[in-house]
Amino acid sequence: MKRTTQTMFLAAILLLVSGYTECYKPVGRGDGLPKHIKTFAVPPFQNPSLRFKVEQRFTSAVVDETLRRARALRVVSTAEDADAVMLGTIKAFTYRPVGLEDLGRARVFEVAITVAVTVKDQTKNKILFDNQNLIFRGEYEIAGDPKTFFSEEGPATDRIARDFAKSVMTTILEGF
């Protein structure tokens, strides 16, 4: 009886373990890019939106996220030196009030930034990723006291840029 129970227990464990070997895929393996890509260029984003320094914030966020997530990739700033290149354009930067105070003045603003991104494999002349209408949103609040006024638009833009970089690099590196 004891031997039969042990055999059944061992068979159940082997059945459970053997059936799930291909189901688990750890996050962060970076299988989204072809194996021959060793250098990744992130030239400065274009900014026809005429909003001051938005392209610098987005370029910097993408470079930081790439360095953090894809340590095997060498990040460069010029397309000539790279196996793959990310081309980005800030198409639109809009903000609008979404919350009013008691006196009818706007206190909470929503920022919406529209970005076009293309990732191109330079060695095989192939588009790896292309989305011309990525929209990222965030909010910021203005202090009620004019003496303590600080424009929160810059920090809000930085938060949106980091969210953009995480989303796009996850899509590219993980192949989602």
Domain ranges of the chain: 33-174
Instruction: Write the CATH number of the domain with boundaries 33-174.
Output: 3.30.160.150
In the predicted model, is pLDDT for residue 83 greater than 50? yes
Q: Using one digit for the tens of pLDDT, what is the confidence trace for 101-127?
A: 777 777 788 999 999 999 999 999 999
CA 52 to chain centre: 21
79 pLDDT exceeds 70?
Answer: yes
Name which residue leads in pLDDT, 105 or 76.
76
Distances in whole angstroms, Cα of residue 83 to Cα of each of 24, 42, 61, 80, 173: 30, 11, 20, 8, 14
Check if the beta carbon of residue 107 is closer than 8 Å to that of residue 149: no
Q: What is the pLDDT of residue 15?
A: 56
Confidence of residue 164 (pLDDT cuts 50, 70, 90): very high
Mean pLDDT of the chain: 83
Asked if residue 44 has pLDDT above 50, the reply is yes
Please write the tens of the pLDDT for every residue from 26-40. 444 455 788 899 999
